[in-house]
Structure 1
């Protein structure tokens, strides 16, 4: 048996070699930025944009709030008129033009954002120095407009009252002339743009309220049947004297005459019967005027005329409702702006003679007044005139 063939290669060591240590597999390369998922890129962009928007809005809000509440540019108190029909933009531009706010944009934005429920009202407003936009908006929303005064003197006819209101350019509208004697002469508070009808209504309401109070407290023996008759008598008293302390005395004369069924014979009733609500005759009363019968001429009619001859004031109404107890039946001018009163015709004639002497001694050019009407001798069937004019 033959021996196995010997290996032809190099001889192996008796010790076997260890295999070299394995190297860990290489880590996969990190993905580059360019390899990000598109959704991540979009999301990141949106977040960045929103962050900038949030910061921008916050800064704008902070700045807007600061500008909205910081002192304004006005250095002195100023009255500004916001006309009727003006919108928020119109108001803002007016306020900027008048120097009340720095920018109309800030006013509009502030009203829309901070005061969306504010109802801005037209009218005249007073703005203080340094008033902020927020305060300006609150002022206009409050409706506390500037108030003015209009004074209606006692003794004007309703037509004359309307004319006085028409001459006031703060008021608006063309009203109808109210019924004579339904307005209370007084000082009233008005605001620019207020209608004349509203003023007349306020005057009528005031007269109605006052008349009800005075009528309820009238003297029980006053020969007047209704509040309307009280106003009529008071209107005659009002036109006969401009002195407050004489109104009760004049009222007493006419009440005494009414009680005795004597004609009132009041000169102002002659004038009203001729010119009506115009109020002024423009010349002295003549004998023809006295003799000409009208519905209001108390030289020609018995008792009171059919209605008032003017709008009497509170004092005249009170005097007519509660006249003092006297026996006077006559009065005539005394040359001092007042009147001389008398119980008898003899005393009255003396007072008239005294007044005529004063008239003759004072030329019209000196007094600045037209000459008084000549003395009138009433018909035999007619009682002597109360005023002797």
Structure 2
């Protein structure tokens, strides 16, 4: 009888313990996956080589999670404890521990914190400082300057020294290789000499994460590798029947498409015009190639082309030469390369500006002349010169 009571009491105690454990597990799961304690967006910064224990303590200290232990246990359970990715990640208000684990182990571009960005643009290169407003969860510009003509603000110099600040180089589509090298040389947070300006078209416009003291040449090499990979992928996926004998010719066409339109949706149509001209034995007659022959990609031509320039016999004057120019005239982005290798199926052989930022396309010279007349009217209304040739614009 005594042993039966002991067994009964033990069984009862075991059941109570199991219920307590189940309740604890249920609570822990709810705590891990339920809304977090922070009422505002949090910028979670993961240092290189940081341990899960250090990160969990950091998150608890800044109020992003309610328990460092539960955060570590949950990450272990998700088998994510060894997947921490260096960077700064914005997590929304009331984010759960589960969501935070997902954010800091998925990787990708940093989404919050202080960042200094070198922007190499077609018309200007700037360095700007941005920081996240935690109340709105949005980046705000704090300072900006042109490194070629202005002194760096103290705020930017101080930000460059911060160990947790992100440094980026953002290269716009359509810039020349010379512009990129000049921009990199203007960035004090980069180091090293550039031996030679890379071949035109060989650098991929994109945003690149760098570290203070990164070598300029190493960054150029990465841009070149990325562009080569993009071109190879697009070339391998191209349809048959295009008038290119090599990927290099497709890259030349992509650079022309890039410079001819600022409207992304137009790229396939613009590419179709030039492909149709090549196939019909027409000259390309495009102003951006002539401009490149005048400037060698070293400046922006803030004026219309002169008649003498349009008549000059240069390798880049597509009013005078047949086929493509000898090299690209800028560094095209992936979208322009894709358009050059996947042009729209059209009968267009002409285009001209339509006044909206885009172009009016035409199949015949009669249609084109009508479009040109409308464009001349728009120029006159704007008080702009109306004697610049437009045949090369399509």
TM-score (norm 2): 0.57
Name structure 2 gaps, 5 residues minimum: 1-42, 46-86, 89-162
- Equivalence for 2:366: 346
Q: What is the CA deviation profile of residues 261-303 of structure 1, one whole-angstrom value per residue up to 9, with x for unaligned ones?
A: 1000000011111111214223211111111110111000000
Give the Cα–Cα distance (whole angstroms) in 1 for the partners of residues 333 and 312 of structure 2. Answer: 29
Query: Distance in 2 between the 1:243 and 1:352 partners?
Result: 19
Query: How do 1:112-151 residues align onto structure 2 when only pairs under 5 Å count?
Result: 146-151=165-170
> Residues of 1 paired with 2:184 and 2:270: CA distance?
30
Q: Which residue of 1 aligns with 2:329?
A: 309
Cα gap change, 1:306/1:373 in structure 2, threshold over 3 Å: closer, same or farther? farther
User: Residue 252 of structure 1: which of 262, 272, 279 is its match?
Assistant: 272
8 Å CA contact retained: 2:287, 2:392: no
State the secondary structure of the residue aligned to 1:151: strand
Match of 1:374 in 2: 388
Cα deviation 1:289-320 (Å, max 9, x = unaligned):
11111011100000000110111100000000
- 1:210 maps to 230
Residue in 1 that maps onto 2:180 = 161
Does structure 2 retain, via aligned residues, the 8 Å contact 1:272–1:279? no
Structure 1 SS opposite 2:292: helix
Q: Contact between 1:284 and 1:373, CA under 8 Å: does it hold in 2?
A: no
Contact 2:319–2:392, Cα closer than 8 Å, also in 1: no
Instruction: Quickly say closer, same or farther: Cα 1:330–1:258, change in 2 above 3 A.
Output: same
* Larger strand fraction of residues: 2
> In structure 1, the residue corresponding to 2:214 is in which secondary structure?
coil
Residues 210, 275 of structure 1: CA spacing in aligned structure 2 closer, same or farther, 3 A cutoff?
same
1:189 pairs with 2:195: no
The size of the alignment, in residue pairs, is: 237
When residues 221 and 386 of structure 1 are mapped into structure 2, their CA distance, relative to the original with a 3 A threshold, is: farther
- CA distance in structure 2 between the partners assigned to 1:295 and 1:146 by the alignment: 46
Structure 2 residue matching 1:305: 3-state secondary structure: coil
Larger radius of gyration: 1
Within the alignment, does 1:387 sit opposite 2:393 as a pair?
yes
**Partner in structure 2 of residue 94 of structure 1:** none
With over 3 angstroms needed to count, the CA separation of the structure-2 counterparts of 1:180 and 1:188, relative to structure 1, is same
**1:99-154 deviation line (CA, Å, top 9, x unaligned):** xxxxxxxxxxxxxxxxxxxxxxxxxx99xxxxxxxxxxxxxxxxx97532111001
Kindly report which structure 2 residues correspond to 1:215-364, keeping only aligned pairs within 5 A, or say none.
Answer: 215-363=235-383
Shift of 1:386: 4.6
Find the counterpart in structure 1 of residue 192 from structure 2: 173
**What secondary structure sits across from 2:249 in the alignment?**
helix
CA RMSD of aligned residues (A): 2.3
CA 1:242–1:266 in 2, change beyond 3 Å: closer, same or farther? Answer: same
SS in 1 for 2:183: helix
Q: Secondary structure at the match of 2:283?
A: coil
Q: Deviations over 1:39-95 (max 9, x none)?
A: xxxxxxxxxxxxxxxxxxxxxxxxxxxxxxxxxxxxxx9x9xxxxxxxxxxxxxxxx
Q: Secondary structure at the match of 1:150?
A: strand
Aligned-partner Cα distance in 1 for 2:333–2:386:
26
Q: Is the 8 A contact 2:376 2:386 kept in 1?
A: no
Q: Could you tell me whether the CA contact under 8 Å between 1:284 and 1:372 is conserved in 2? A: no
The answer to whether structure 1 residue 152 and structure 2 residue 158 are counterparts is: no
Runs of 4+ with >3 A deviation: 144-147
For the residues of structure 2 that align with 1:177 and 1:252, how far apart are their CA atoms? Answer: 31
